């Protein structure tokens, strides 16, 4: 495992620990959980999926020379 990946994993674990600790302290809150932020790798994965969909859509339009718009 590369050092940066291990560092990200460590940061994620620390983030989860602190949020769980905060949740335990605030049992009075109405929500049973705290919404977690997306990690950097999840954000990158979402962006790459959206990019792949856009590329596929563009290639479909390019295969039909009569249509010139990408919707």
Query: In the chain, where are the structural domains located?
Result: 3-63
DSSP of 5-54, one letter per residue? HHHHHHHHHHHHHHHHHHHHHTTTSSSSS-PPPPPHHHHHHHHHHHHHHH
Model confidence pLDDT, tens digit, residues 8-64: 888 899 999 988 888 777 665 566 677 788 888 889 999 999 999 999 999 988 888
Q: What's the whole-model pTM score?
A: 0.42
């Amino acid at each position: 495992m590369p050092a940066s990946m291990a560092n990200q994993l460590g940061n994620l674990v620390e983030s989860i620990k602190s949020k769980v600790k905060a949740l335990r302290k605030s049992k009075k809150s109405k929500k049973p959980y705290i919404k977690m932020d997306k990690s950097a790798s999840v954000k990158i994965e979402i962006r790459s999926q959206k990019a792949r969909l856009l590329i596929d859509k563009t290639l479909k339009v390019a295969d039909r020379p009569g249509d010139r718009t990408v919707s």
